[in-house]
Structure 1
C-alpha cells in the first residue's frame, strides 16, 4: 500500500518518496470556559486545529522531513518546484473539503467544548473510513490517480491526522 501511495504522489508532479501531505484546517467550536484565549485563531473565532499528514505550504518551516515551497523563487527551476509541490499537496486540502462537505457540522462549527469536539471529529473520521472500506462513497479523480478509493483519515486525541 505505501509503495502505491508513494508512486501515486510521484505521478502527480514528479516528487519522489512523498508519502503524505501536511496542512491544517480550522473547525469552529463554542467558546471554551477554561483557557479561552488558547482557542482563538487568527480570524478571531474559537477553533480546534486539524492537522493532516509530508509536503507542506509556506506556513510550515522547512525541515529534514518536511518540504515546503521556496518563499522567493530565484529561477525557473525553483518556480517549477513550487508549482509541482502545490499540485501534489492539494490532495490534503481536498481531503478536508470532502470531510467538511460530508459532515456539515465540521464546516459550520461544533457547539461543544474542545475535548468533545475532538471526539466528534474523530467519529467523522471513523465514519469516513467505514465508507471508504465499504466502497459506498464517491471516488474523486485525484484519489484514483493515487490508487486509493478516497483519502483515509487517522484521528488522534490531540490532533486529527489525515493520510492520503
Structure 2
C-alpha cells in the first residue's frame, strides 16, 4: 500500500492521464496502407468477408451526475455516462477513439461529427468498417440487413455479426485492463474523458508489446441485435457495396 494523501494521488493521476492523452495521436490512429492490407487479410481469413479493416461500436462509461447539463448525460438505460466511440482492428488495437459526448448522444451523431467519417469519406483510409444497425450504411461502413429474405442475406448478417463482435471483445478487454472504466467515475466529465483516452493509449501499448490479456478476458457473449428496429438511412453506394459483399460470400 502506498501511503499518500488522497489529494496527492488525485494530482498524480491527473498529470499522468493528461500526459498520456496528449500522446494519443501517436498510439491511436487509422492503419497505413501496409497495415490496412494486413488487417483485410486477417479479417478475410477469419470470416471470408473481404476488404474489412476494422469494426466500430459505442460503449458507455458511467459517471456521477454532473452539476451542469445533468440531463444530457442520462443515457437510454437511465444512468449518467460518457458515450465513447471505439473502432478497432482484428488484433484488438484501437484505431479510433471519440470520448467527449454525453450519454444521451446517439452513436450515429458521434460518427457524423467525428474525424473518422471525414477520413473515410475523403479516402484517407482504404477499406471497410463493420457497424451495427445504429449506424448509417455507407460505401465504407457496412451494417446488417434490416429484413433479410434470402439464405445469402441471412448468411451475410450472421457473418457480419460474428465478425463485428471483435469490437465488443476489444471493449471488454479494455475495461478488464482498467477497472475504473467499469464502475461509476466520480470526476468532472472532462476529466473522465481524459482518463478514458489515457487508458486507450495504455491498452494499445499493451497490444504492441504483446502483454498477455487479463484473465477472463473474454466478455459475455454479445446478444444478436434486432436489426428490424433499425431506422438509419442507407445510401445507394452503400447498398451496392453491401450487395457485392453478399454475392461474394
TM-score by length of 2: 0.54
Q: Which residue of 2 aligns with 1:17?
A: 51
Q: Which residue of 1 aligns with 2:76?
A: 42
2-side partners of 1:66 and 1:134: how far apart? 30
Q: How does 1:53-92 map to 2 (within 5 A)?
A: 53=87, 54-92=129-167
Quote the offset at 1:42 in angstroms: 0.2
Quote the offset at 1:6 in angstroms: 1.0
CA contact (8 A) 1:31 1:113 kept: no
2-side partners of 1:55 and 1:129: how far apart? 20
Q: Which residue of 1 aligns with 2:168?
A: 93
Count residues in correspondence. 140
Q: Which residue of 1 aligns with 2:190?
A: 115
Quote the offset at 1:139 in angstroms: 9.0
Q: Which residue of 2 aligns with 1:152?
A: none
SS of 2:182's partner is: helix
Q: Which residue of 2 aligns with 1:106?
A: 181
Quote the offset at 1:108 in angstroms: 1.2
Per-residue CA distance 1:43-91 (angstroms, 9 max, x = gap):
0101111112210111222122211001111111110000110111111
Q: Which residue of 2 aligns with 1:2?
A: 36
What RMSD, in angstroms, separates the aligned Cα atoms of the two structures? 1.6
SS of 1:83's partner is: helix
SS of 1:23's partner is: strand
Q: Which residue of 1 aligns with 2:229?
A: none
CA contact (8 A) 2:63 2:189 kept: yes
Runs of 4+ in 1 over 3 A off after TM superposition: none
Gaps of 5+ in 2: 1-34, 88-128, 216-249
Larger radius of gyration: 2
